[in-house]
Structures are given as C-alpha cells and as structure tokens.
Amino acid sequence: MSTAKTYKWIKVAESTDDIEWQQNDMCVIEASGKKISIAKFKGQISAFAYKCPHAGGILADGCLDALGHAVCPIHRYKFELMKGRNVSGEGYYLKIYPVECRPDGVFVGFEEKGFFNWL
C-alpha cells in the first residue's frame, strides 16, 4: 500500500500579486470552505493554520521573524513554515499546507484521506 499523500488542489488567486497582503506579508484566505493563513518570505509562499495551536491567536495578525518563522501575536510562539515545527521550544506543531505557484494561479493543497480517514 502506498503511503504517499495525495492532495486536492484549490486555486486561491490568479497570482501572488492578486493576494491582499497585509503590511506584515501575511493574510487570511478562504479555501475549500476553510480559513487559512498565508505568508510570503523571500519569494516563498507558505500556507498554514488560521489559528495558533496553543491559544488560538490569529496567526496572520502576528509577524514573520528574520528567519521567516510565523510568530503568534498572543504569546510570541514561533513556527517553522515548511514543517510546522515550533522553534521557540513549547512543543506545538502547526498545520501546514503545500502551495504551488503555477502559470494559471496560486494553489493550496488539502490532503485527501481514505474512506475511513485512516487509509
């Protein structure tokens, strides 16, 4: 049995220029009926959970640090945006989503699960 993840790709914008970025280079978008945060750092687009897994702070209201970590606006917990790892030491993980910038738009991937959610 294959363990490779499969994704349903949802188009979220025609291009990165069409995204309404906040001054902190982050924003909230809706894709597949779900709010998620996106960020741009050094030309890389990342998509991740809308809220911090610790206390529910809206991550797009936080900031990106000098290394491109998302920083929660409530308790300043930091998350690495490629793997979701908490880098400030508290042990939380942030849900992340793959992003593809294609000629026909910006797409976010949502993992497809098996019938019983365990396949």
Separation CA 27–CA 47 (nearest Å) = 10
The model's pTM: 0.89
Q: Token match 């529910």: residue?
A: 56
Name residue 8's amino acid.
K
CATH number at residue 88: 2.102.10.10
Give me the residues paired with residue 58 across strands.
Answer: 51
The structural domain count of the chain equals 1
Name residue 14's amino acid.
E
Residue 1 within any structural domain of the chain: no
Rounded percentage of the chain residues whose pLDDT exceeds 90? 87
- Is a pLDDT exceeding 60 seen at residue 1? no
Predicted pLDDT at 32: 84
In this structure, are residues 3 and 114 in contact, taking their beta carbons and an 8 Å threshold?
A: no
Predicted pLDDT at 119: 45
φ, ψ for residue 4 (rounded to 5)? -65, 135
Q: Which domain holds residue 98?
A: 6-112
In this structure, are residues 78 and 84 in contact, taking their beta carbons and an 8 Å threshold?
A: no
Residue pLDDT, tens place only, 13-50: 999 999 999 999 999 999 989 999 999 999 999 999 99
